[in-house]
Amino acid sequence: MTSWVPVPAGSHFTIDNLPYGVWSRADGERRIGVAIGDHVLDLTAVAAAGLLDGALPDAARVFGTPTINELMSRGRPAWSAVRRAIGGLLSGDDRSVERMLVPMSEVTMHLAFDVGDYVDFYSSIDHATNVGRMFRPDAEPLLPNWRHLPVGYHGRAGTVVVSGTPVVRPCGQRKPPDAPAPTYGPSTRLDIEAEVGFVVGVPTALGARVAADAVADHVFGVVLVNDWSARDIQAWEYVPLGPFLGKSFATSVSPWVVPLEALAAARVPQPVQDPQPLDYLRSAADWGLDLAIEVRLNDSVVARPPFSSMYWTVAQQLAHMTVNGASLRTGDLFASGTVSGPERNQRGSLLELSWGGAEPFELADGTTRTFLQDGDTVSITAETATGPRIGFGEVTGRVDPALG
């Protein structure tokens, strides 16, 4: 299938993708759209014109809201029907929606969904091993539970922000190991975590469990996530209850939500798991995803983490998150954890790239970094490495100085 809308070579937004987002013009009114090439198709207008009624009888209402939550709540048959209808409008001979295309350069993107709960996993074996080697050099790098369950924790949903939002360097308590007491001040070890996030569409009732093989009935789509982290604040606070202020100041997500359905051809077997996980963590289908991620710091590519190396899949994460009966809400976001591959240039955090700050690395402009400096911009992109090209756009953010 090809589109009559021009799609420049290398564009992330092909007819095979059709990701959803929320955008506005200068008047600020939020509308739902789908990305195609360098344009946004105004779905609020398309639906108001009745062009999606065949797929979703109340499409005008669903696409008349300022988020995609209502669409996401409708379930997989509705998602597929709407996607087919949009694909048809953009690929047939009939160009009646041409006047509803808006150049991307003219729009401002917003957070596409109201976030329910935000959960962050820790599912890269290379990342967890690197962190273990740095922090516990004389012990087994992976903790005893790591190969038995996808370790995760809840983050702050209220500070999930859309790509482009500046990130103010956070202040807080830090205590170097040899200092007698903590001090207050701006973080001096500000870091990123390149992650992939999954957005829940169909909710569940309290007490229900979601089987690993039912993941596509509940997860609507996929985004890129930068889980900004203040390593000095985190190191002092996190025992015994986990990360809190070291993470809660900001989590950036990409504006375009790629439908899980669009990634069908990128699904690949996950790495072999040893030991075999318990029954509830097994799925019949493959839920590895072959995505090539790229992390840029200013003008330098600093890492290319391969998502296919993740030890735990989205299906296992969802099954684990609900095995205790915890309910899901439309808009729940769960992220993979930092994506790192086995190679040095595949590490998805500066903590790993600089080996805890001990090994500065060089940027294209000749300067070096361990952690982030004020004014630095970090951008994370990804596209499929198997199947037709599907891109995620980017999640980007600039570091602003701490407030006085």
Selected range binding a copy of itself among 66-74, 97-105, 170-178, 256-264, rule: CB under 8 A: 170-178
User: What's the min distance (Å) between Cβ of 171 and a copy of itself?
Assistant: 6
User: Does 243 sit near a copy of itself (CB under 8 A)?
Assistant: yes
Residues 219/335, Cβ–Cβ less than 8 Å: no
Residues 201/330, Cβ–Cβ less than 8 Å: yes
| Spatial CA neighbour of 365 closest among 307, 282, 317, 302 | 302
Point out which residues pair with 31 in neighbouring strands: 23
User: Does 403 sit near a copy of itself (CB under 8 A)?
Assistant: yes
Q: Which helix (H) or strand (E) covers residue 369, if one does? A: strand 368-369
Selected range binding a copy of itself among 23-31, 64-72, 201-209, 303-311, rule: CB under 8 A: 201-209
Give every CB contact of residue 131 below 8 A, 6+ residues apart in sequence.
141, 351, 352
User: Does 278 sit near a copy of itself (CB under 8 A)?
Assistant: yes
Residue 357 CA, distance from chain mean position: 26
Tokens encoding 355: 């080996």
Got the DSSP string for 208-251? ----GGGHHHHEEEEEEEE--EEHHHHHHH-TTT--STTTTT-E
User: Does 10 sit near a copy of itself (CB under 8 A)?
Assistant: no
Selected range binding a copy of itself among 14-22, 46-54, 59-67, 316-324, rule: CB under 8 A: 316-324
User: What's the min distance (Å) between Cβ of 190 and a copy of itself?
Assistant: 11
Planar angle of CA 88, 89, 90, nearest 5 degrees = 90
User: What's the min distance (Å) between Cβ of 381 and a copy of itself?
Assistant: 24
> What is the DSSP secondary structure assignment for residue 19, as one 8-state letter?
-
Tell me which of 13, 23, 198, 236 binds a copy of itself, using CB under 8 A.
236
User: Contacts with a copy of itself in 16-75 (CB under 8 A)?
Assistant: none
User: What's the min distance (Å) between Cβ of 241 and a copy of itself?
Assistant: 4
Give every CB contact of residue 165 below 8 A, 6+ residues apart in sequence.
250, 252, 397
Q: How far apart are CA 145 and CA 5, in angstroms?
A: 50
User: Does 154 sit near a copy of itself (CB under 8 A)?
Assistant: yes
- Active-site residue (options: 12, 39, 127, 218): 127
Determine whether 218 is an active site residue. Answer: no
Tell me which of 8, 10, 28, 275 binds a copy of itself, using CB under 8 A.
275
Please, where are the H alpha helices in 201-308?
A: 215-218, 231-237
Burial of 129 (0-12, 13-18, 19+ CB in 10 A): middle
Tell me which of 11, 327, 373, 386 binds a copy of itself, using CB under 8 A.
327
Q: How far apart are CA 292 and CA 306, in angstroms?
A: 5
Residues 226/395, Cβ–Cβ less than 8 Å: yes
User: Does 321 sit near a copy of itself (CB under 8 A)?
Assistant: yes
User: What's the min distance (Å) between Cβ of 148 and a copy of itself?
Assistant: 5
Selected range binding a copy of itself among 4-12, 140-148, 258-266, 354-362, rule: CB under 8 A: 140-148
Tell me which of 24, 129, 173, 273 binds a copy of itself, using CB under 8 A.
173
* Phi and psi, residue 133, nearest 5°: -65, -35
User: What's the min distance (Å) between Cβ of 90 and a copy of itself?
Assistant: 35
Tell me which of 11, 91, 108, 165 binds a copy of itself, using CB under 8 A.
165
Tell me which of 30, 60, 129, 238 binds a copy of itself, using CB under 8 A.
238
Distances in Å between the Cα of 259 and the Cα atoms of 72, 222, 288, 392 are: 10, 6, 16, 10
Residues 306/341, Cβ–Cβ less than 8 Å: yes
User: What's the min distance (Å) between Cβ of 228 and a copy of itself?
Assistant: 10
Tell me which of 4, 153, 355, 361 binds a copy of itself, using CB under 8 A.
153
Active centre residues (catalytic): 127
Site residues (vs a copy of itself, CB under 8 A) = 116-117, 119, 122, 143-145, 148-149, 151-159, 161, 165, 168, 170-173, 175, 181-184, 206-207, 209, 230, 233, 236-246, 248-250, 275, 278-280, 320-321, 323-329, 332, 403
